[in-house]
A = this chain, B = another copy of it.
Amino acid sequence: MPANIKHKKKSLKTCRRSKNNAGNLYAVIIAGGSGTRFWPLSREDTPKQLLSIGGREPLIQSTVTRISAVIPLEQTFIVTNKKQMESINLQLHASTGKPWDKRFIIEPEAKNTAPAIGLAAVYLKKLNPDGIMAVLPSDHVVKDSGRFCSALLSASKAASEGYLVTIGLKPDKPETGYGYIKCGKKIKDGVYIAAEFKEKPGKELAKKYLKDGNYYWNSGMFIWKADAILSAFKKHMPDLYAGLMKIEKAIGSAKETETISLVFASLKPESIDYGVIEKAKNVAVIPAEMGWSDVGSWHALGYILPVDSDNNVKHGNIISIDNKNSILYCGNRVVAAIGLDDMIVVDTADATLICPKNRAQEVRKIVDVLKERGAKECVTHRTVFRPWGSYTVLETGDRFKIKKIEVKPGAKLSHQMHRHRSEHWVVVAGTARVTNGDKAYDVHLNESTYIPMSTKHRLENIGRIPLEIIEVQNGEYLEEDDIVRFEDVYSRKTEN
């Protein structure tokens, strides 16, 4: 991380020279998420921000695109954990054509938003003492990018004056699942002092807020100077601030990573809302309307995908008879639904969810049960994406595993070896270049080859069309971590 930040410094100075606010403006995209709310579509390794809902681009990609109109990609950072970094990098590299691995800020463990934001603030202040950070969730939907951008620019201006700015969204229904902010004294046109905060009000209160017209939803989008939020931490979260100062000192030293881990291990989880926003006096609100959804549960699909005349969202191989107000979401498997009302049905290759809409929040409980059972259905999908393509587990036996492997034209897997399994490969599309011990040879459509245990090997698509192979693994241990890597174009340490 320090290395990349030093790298960036040069170009940043160039930007700052323009004396433009935007030159000091950085995006800090918060991409945590445990993959529970959208189970079974989301998994531990495919959290909400990486979902292609209804075939649309992943939410994090839309977020990056939206921000890029105001903030250059080089000034966009992503706070996430180590596990998700590779998938996000893969996604953004593919969509922006640039590697993102130098612009990740890694939380060693999840401690809610305040520590994550604090960590980003420390790095950013080091990078640019006048830096303004726009803290933006990675997994929200914003339909009106233009309004989003102008709110962001107004916020940036107010932030440069020292305010902790939050974007307040005009409610259009008495939602009980969000926090509300009341606008107080006007600072200037379109900017108000935040007068009151209310977390998830009851139905009656939410109706009152909606009618009042002066209450706004807390969007989770915050804009402030790195310096200003650190001052706020000093005042309202002194323990966090002390930890952040330790990290600040360690940045660039050999102890950087270790220090961050130690500090995070000692921190109490805390949200930025509860820890700072609800306490600080210099919080400003910029009310906005931008066609926003936090995509907080399966409900939100009706906001993202089209609904039919019976108010159903239908996606995939659905056979629907007389359903209404329901979300029927599946892939290739047949899902037949009759006479449902206000229901959610979500089907994936290995798991199905059925629940009434008003109990969508309880999906977390299902994920908890799966975790307790050590079940893979909360961790990973049958199809796993890799920088070189993807694989799909077709069948798992006691001592065998069958995968379909797809390799993009020109891509190659790492030069690797397995201690506990041998592999039969049969090519069903394209041509494979195979390195097998000391030999290298091509395997064509309808040909096969065999990779013995403990033999160095590599699979490569030297052709013009996707390569598809069926891999039959035999062995007594068949997990992904049985891999020794000798060389990898994607610089990975573990997994295919």
Q: What residues make up the interface of A, taking CB atoms closer than 8 Å to B?
A: 39-40, 319, 321, 330, 333-340, 343, 345, 347, 350-356, 358-359, 362-363, 365-366, 369-370, 375, 377, 392, 394-395, 397-400, 402, 404, 422, 424, 426, 428-429, 445-446, 448, 450, 468, 470, 472, 474
Contact between A395 and B397, CB atoms less than 8 A apart: no
How distant is the Cα of A199 from the Cα of B270 in the complex, in angstroms?
68
Show 30 A/B contacts (Cβ-Cβ < 8 Å), sorted by A.
A40-B334, A321-B366, A330-B352, A333-B350, A333-B351, A334-B377, A336-B351, A336-B352, A336-B354, A336-B366, A336-B369, A337-B353, A338-B359, A338-B362, A338-B365, A339-B356, A339-B358, A339-B359, A343-B354, A345-B354, A347-B352, A398-B429, A402-B470, A426-B472, A426-B474, A428-B474, A448-B448, A448-B450, A470-B470, A470-B472
Q: Report whether over half of chain A's contact residues are helix, strand or loop; otherwise say mixed.
A: strand
Identical subunits present: 2
User: Which residues on the B side are within 8 Å of A402 (C-beta)?
Assistant: 394, 402, 404, 470
User: Which residues on the B side are within 8 Å of A470 (C-beta)?
Assistant: 395, 400, 402, 470, 472
Give me 12 other A-B pairs in contact (C-beta within 8 A), A339-B356, A394-B402, A470-B472 excluded: A333-B350, A333-B352, A335-B352, A336-B351, A337-B353, A338-B365, A340-B354, A399-B429, A400-B428, A424-B426, A426-B426, A426-B472
Partner of A362, one of B339, B429, B448: B339
Residue of B nearest to A472 (CB): B426
How distant is the Cα of A424 from the Cα of B427 in the complex, in angstroms?
10
Residue of B nearest to A349 (CB): B333
Nearest-Cβ distance from residue A35 to partner chain B, whole angstroms: 14
How distant is the Cα of A356 from the Cα of B429 in the complex, in angstroms?
44
How distant is the Cα of A450 from the Cα of B426 in the complex, in angstroms?
10
Nearest-Cβ distance from residue A57 to partner chain B, whole angstroms: 26
User: Which residues on the B side are within 8 Å of A422 (C-beta)?
Assistant: 446
Nearest-Cβ distance from residue A78 to partner chain B, whole angstroms: 31
Nearest first, the 9 closest Cβ-Cβ pairs linking A and B are A338-B355, A400-B428, A334-B351, A446-B474, A336-B366, A426-B472, A394-B394, A339-B359, A424-B426
Contact between A355 and B377, CB atoms less than 8 A apart: no
User: Which residues on the B side are within 8 Å of A321 (C-beta)?
Assistant: 362, 365-366
Contact between A351 and B370, CB atoms less than 8 A apart: no
Contact between B404 and A395, CB atoms less than 8 A apart: yes
How distant is the Cα of A446 from the Cα of B350 in the complex, in angstroms?
27
Q: A365-B321, A424-B448, A429-B399 in contact; A355/B334 too (CB < 8 A)?
A: no
Contact between A472 and B337, CB atoms less than 8 A apart: no
User: Which residues on the B side are within 8 Å of A474 (C-beta)?
Assistant: 426, 428, 445-446
User: Which residues on the B side are within 8 Å of A428 (C-beta)?
Assistant: 397, 399-400, 472, 474
User: Which residues on the B side are within 8 Å of A377 (C-beta)?
Assistant: 334
How distant is the Cα of A395 from the Cα of B340 in the complex, in angstroms?
31
Nearest-Cβ distance from residue A313 to partner chain B, whole angstroms: 15
Q: A366-B321, A429-B400, A470-B472 in contact; A354/B335 too (CB < 8 A)?
A: yes
Residue of B nearest to A378 (CB): B334
Contact between A363 and B338, CB atoms less than 8 A apart: yes
Q: A338-B362, A446-B422 in contact; A354/B354 too (CB < 8 A)?
A: yes
